[in-house]
Structure 1
Amino acid sequence: MTIHTPQSQLTAAGRGRLYIGGEAVAGEGETFAVINPGTEEVIAEVAGASAGQVEAAIGAARRAYDSGVWCDLPAAERAQALRRLMAALAAQRDRLVELSVREAGCPVSSGSMAAQVHAPLQHGLDTIELFLQLPEFEENPLPFEQRLTPRGGAVQSLRRHLPVGVVAAISAYNFPFYTNLWKVLPALITGNTVILRPNPLTPLAALVFGEAAEAAGLPPGVLNVIAEQGAGGAVALSTHADVDMVAFTGSTGVGKQVMVQAAPTMKRLQLELGGKSAQIYMPDSVAQAGMAAAMVAMGHAGQGCAHGTRVFVPEADKAQALEAMAAPLAKVKIGDPADPQTQMGPVISAAQRDRCERYVALAVEAGAKVVYGGKRPEGLAKGFFFEPTILDTPDNKNPAAQEEIFGPVVSVIGYRDLDHLVEMANDSPYGLSGYVTGKDIKQAIGVASKIRTGTVNVNGGLLSAYASSGGWKQSGVGRERGVEGLRVYQQIQAMNIQGA
């Protein structure tokens, strides 16, 4: 697919697209530019929401929830409306792909485009069907003697699952449509109302949700979409008394701020935060480590919180593994994400590119060696590009092994034995994901079961609406996808009933 939409159309698409109380409105706040990270060109100018419009969005969501116009609908009717919403989004598939290229910098032909657009469009429908399979009421397992009153009457104890209320959805820049959808759809199908606030670097994919809500005929206030350059609106969403829950994807540092801001009103939280996941090669599978670095680099330039950026191999095989990992990187085509030949695009901003440079320097100061990359690529005068980088890291204490860089940089670390491996894999403030590759399945599962992380993948991964993911330790709170990713948007009411 070749991207060819005129820039004038992209710019026009970014104006006047906030969606508040069932109406598309022009932003009354500061206007800000959306930059193509592959070319540094301005692709759109967005008039952001004013403080008054943020307040209006919260008020519209509050009124819509309290009125029962959405949460009191039978689940089947909410599902029908949300299928229309998904159909409206699916009709914009090509536009969403283009936005993933132009505002997020994802190469148009990259395998990452499946997670950017194609998988979420299917996952939305799957989420609706999964929710319809879940009971609203579940019986508590009372022992027989507690099921009778002293007078011989019957006792029943039930758990009822109800929506939380008004949800503030604050999404990330790396997979904007994906992270938008994985907050909006579960929150809406469970009966909540939503204010969606995208990352300022990638607001355009979120504004499409307002158009889809209008096309689907959602009641006013059920879904509201605002955009802003600063953080004032996000702070308001995480502090306002009329907001009952905050769902946030982003860095651990900002996630901690959200927790502090939400604490006075004790909001429900769902946070998917940073990661420094272990990519483990068992002694019988070192030969498969050759693509370990390339998978991270070509996985949206390493901008994925679940990427396996700490690569563990046996110490005796480390030199061989480093050589094998470096070879594929020499063939990786870096460049404009709109070019179908491009395999790896830019990071999102100049600041993020500088972060990659800084951490490579810190790693080297702490004893690491650059095996491949480590700098800005030559011949690309424009764009926020950074070379795919392999660091021969002496130990797991190195800054590049402990901190999330969020770029195409991997640390390769040797282990003496399996106990040493597990110790290092768990020596991290993060616990989002992990990967174990091994021919001896029993041995591989044994290691995987000892990794303290919210998800662990043995000989492959899975991206499904039916399987949840979520962070342990400083990688987050709560789950996304699956049953748990629906129930997090619900609260439990215990209902104890005695016969008259």
Structure 2
Amino acid sequence: MASEAQSIEGVQDSGHMLLGGRLVAGEGAPITVIDPSTGQPTATFAGASVAQFGKAIAIARAAYEEGQWANLRPVARLGILQAYLDLLNVNTDRLRRLIVRETGCPIGSFAIRAQVESPLHQMQQMLDLYPSLPELVENPLTLDERVAVTGGFVQSLRRYVPVGVVAAISAYNFPLHISLWKLLPALAAGNSVILRPSPLTPLATLALGEIAVEAGLPEGVLSILAEGGAEGAQLLTTHRDVNLVTFTGSTSVGIRVAEQGAPTMKRMHLELGGKSAQIVLPDKIEAAFDAAVTVCMSHAGQGCVLGTRLFVPEEEKPKVLAAMKASLDYARIGDSTDPSTTMGPVISEAQMERCERYVQLAVEAGATVVTGGKRANRPGFYFEPTILDLPDNRNPAAQDEIFGPVIGVIGYRDVEHAIEMANDSELGLSGYVHGKDARAALEVAKRLRTGTVNVNTFFASGNASSGGHKLSGVGRERGVEGIRAFQEIQVLNLGGM
């Protein structure tokens, strides 16, 4: 069994795990990372065993109970984490090369910034935000409550304390981004963390462990373990010594994670699937013309917040479809390492098959393929950028998350009809409204039942949280809520004369 990763074309990584502050070789089944651009292996190394996951939990629990990290003054923790973040910034070229090879995100596309530079910038914002959040906040007692019945006075305080041991389970599409959203806020709050990346894209996340050692993170507060299966992840979601599970992935798996954590009353933070709506108001039809480019060129549609349901006025639909199709004439499908490539592959053969299946289901339910709809004729896992003319919002391609370069266009009679269809979904992660009349667009946005709505923009910041409504999840990431998610509230009621 290999203990050192094999590499291709200068992309090197040790394949070592971070276990309680020490770099170790995996003792479990081998992981083979496939380059989606070629369909060929790019690295092979031994994954962590279940026993190693168990050891990581024990180490994290002991570190938390000893309090060497949790009891540090926040300014001291932030100093160490700032040194860590500074080293991550020094390693951006290495991290970018790893991500390009393991995810297939094109190195020359606009999506690559969201893979590396954006998460590092957002983490700096969150480290800057953390000191502004007080550990103690006074509860708003009335004057009568402040005078105790036994005499004297009462003060009631909310104290924010670490949750304890955090298990972070990341997704494959933006591995660095998603991992850092969980990792740094949890550590800043004083927790011990065990991070488990997707077995499809573990390389950049494992590199985070090597850099953590170089930055001098205390032993025990961080472990990063990759595995080929799901046994370690299941141990993280069921073990009594894990206090909180933060998971990003599909809704179906998120439900299982919540079920596994229920017997031990774990706190759950779940960022799950999306089928986000874009409502294009009649006064801004041109906003729809580039919608296919935005969705399909954003990492081949593999983003849970992408606006894959596009609602336009029924009478404008033919013009919109023609303009969207023309916009894809400039798309260049190719290898992720080629700077001229604008759209790369999806992650796997299984994901290509999912795209094919949903196009077929859409057509069987009355949709028309405007362009694309099939695999690209080249090695690797490429699916053509696809525009579907959907007859209604009940079509399978409008209801289910496909997670590929597929966008559906649906006509609406009036704005009320558009809002009704946008809300007709079990998911509610993000949404978009486009309109020249900003007040009218804002009124539409306020009526969408989704966790984030972007009006005439797309915005993401370390200072502003995101999260899902309905089956799109529980809890928020980034911003104040994304830090407080890794803290418990302890109320202190103090009496005195």
TM-score range relative to shorter protein: over 0.9
* 2:495 is aligned with 1:498: yes
Residue aligned with 1:391, SS = strand
Residue in 2 aligned with 1:201? 200
- The reply on whether 1:62 has 2:61 as its aligned counterpart is yes
| Distance in 2 between residues matched to 1:430 and 1:251, nearest whole Å | 11
Q: Does 1:420 align with 2:406?
A: no
Match of 1:47 in 2: 46
2:115 maps to 1:116? yes
Query: Which amino acid is the alignment partner of residue 7 of structure 1?
Result: I
Secondary structure of the residue aligned to 2:144 is helix
CA distance in 2, matches of 1:373, 1:266: 46
CA positional deviation for 1:150: 3.3
Instruction: Write out aligned runs for 1:416-495 (5 A).
Output: 416-495=413-492
Distance 1:438 1:373 in 2: 28
Paired amino acid for 2:404? G
Q: Which residue of 1 aligns with 2:8?
A: 7
The answer as to whether partners of 1:14 and 1:45 remain within 8 angstroms in 2 is no
Q: Given that residues 207 and 225 in structure 1 are in contact (C-alpha distance below 8 angstroms), is that contact kept between their aligned partners in structure 2?
A: yes
- Determine if contact 2:115/2:174 at 8 Å carries over to the other structure: yes
The answer as to whether partners of 2:13 and 2:207 remain within 8 angstroms in 1 is no
- 1:226-237 to 2 correspondence within 5 Å? 226-237=225-236
C-alpha distance in structure 2 between counterparts of 1:77 and 1:327, whole Å: 55
Q: Which amino acid aligns with 2:204?
A: A
Per-residue CA distance 1:77-129 (angstroms, 9 max, x = gap): 00000011111211210011111210011000111111100011111121111
Distance in 2 (alpha carbons) for counterparts of 1:365 and 1:55: 48
Verify the 8 A CA contact 1:14 1:44 in the aligned structure 2: no
**Structure 1 residue 8, shift from structure 2 partner:** 6.7
Deviations 1:283-313 (A, max 9, x none): 1111221101110000000000000000000
Name 1:35's counterpart in structure 2. Answer: 34
CA distance in 1, matches of 2:211, 2:59: 18
**1:259 corresponds to which residue?**
258
C-alpha separation in 2, matches of 1:302 and 1:147: 56
Q: Is the 8 A contact 2:157 2:493 kept in 1?
A: yes
* Matched position secondary structure for 2:45: strand
The structural deviation recorded for 1:46 is: 2.2
The residue identity in structure 1 corresponding to 2:195 is L
State the secondary structure of the residue aligned to 1:7: coil
Query: In 1, distance between residues paired with 2:89 and 2:394?
Result: 45
d(CA) in 2 for partners of 1:139, 1:496: 10
- Equivalent-residue separation in structure 1 for 2:422 and 2:409 (angstroms): 12
User: Which residue number corresponds to residue 384 of structure 2?
Assistant: 387
Q: Which amino acid aligns with 2:446?
A: S
**Distance in 1 of aligned mates of 2:80 and 2:57:** 22
- The CA deviation at 1:9 is 4.9
Q: Please, which moves more after superposition, 283-292 or 421-430?
A: 283-292
Among 396, 408, 411, the alignment partner of 2:408 is 411
C-alpha deviations, 1:372-397, integer Å up to 9, x for none? 1000123x1x1100000000000000
2:3 match: none
Superposed displacement of residue 14, structure 1: 3.9
Q: Extract unaligned runs of 5+ from structure 2.
A: 1-5
Matches within 5 A, 1:132-281: 132-281=131-280
CA distances 1:329-364 after superposition (whole Å, capped 9, x unpaired): 121000101000000000000000110000000000
Check conservation: 1:89, 1:208, Cα contact below 8 A. Answer: no
Output the TM-score relative to the length of structure 2. Answer: 0.98
Counterpart in the other structure of 1:375: 374
Tell me the matched-pair count.
492
Q: 2:274 touches 2:304 (CA, 8 Å); kept in 1?
A: yes
Q: Encode CA deviations 1:204-232: one digit per residue, 9 max, x unaligned.
A: 11111211221121111101010001000
**Percent of aligned positions with the same letter in both sequences?**
58
Q: Quick one: distance in 2 between partners of 1:478 and 1:268? A: 10
Distance 2:341 2:251 in 1: 31
C-alpha offsets along residues 228-274 of structure 1, whole Å, 9 cap, x if unaligned? Answer: 01000000000000100000000001000000000000101111000
Q: How far does residue 188 in structure 1 lie from its aligned partner after superposition?
A: 0.3
Partner of 1:89: 88
SS of the aligned residue for 2:361 comes to: helix
Measured in 1, the distance between the counterparts of 2:394 and 2:29 equals: 43
Instruction: Name the CA shift for 1:8/1:410 in 2 (closer, same or farther; >3 Å).
Output: closer
Which deviates further from its counterpart, 142-151 or 462-471?
A: 142-151
Matching residue's letter, 1:74: R
2:381 alignment partner AA: F
Structure 1 residue 330 corresponds to structure 2 residue 329:
yes
8 Å contact kept, 1:435–1:457: yes
Shift in alpha-carbon separation, 1:496–1:72, aligned structure 2, 3 A: same
One-letter amino acid of the structure 1 residue matched with residue 457 of structure 2: G
Q: What is the correspondence of 1:290-305 to structure 2 with a 5 Å cutoff?
A: 290-305=289-304
Question: 1:312 maps to what in 2?
Answer: 311
Would the aligned equivalents of 1:193 and 1:222 in 2 still touch at CA under 8 Å?
A: yes
The alignment partner of 1:395 has SS state of coil
Q: Is the 8 A contact 1:246 1:268 kept in 2?
A: yes
What's the RMSD between the two structures over aligned residues? Answer: 1.1
Structure 2 residue aligned with 1:127: 126
Match for 2:376: what amino acid? P
- CA–CA distance in structure 2, aligned partners of residues 315 and 177 of structure 1: 40
Offset at residue 6 of structure 1 (A): 6.8
Q: CA deviation at 1:279?
A: 1.0
Structure 2: how far apart are the matches of 1:186 and 1:361?
42
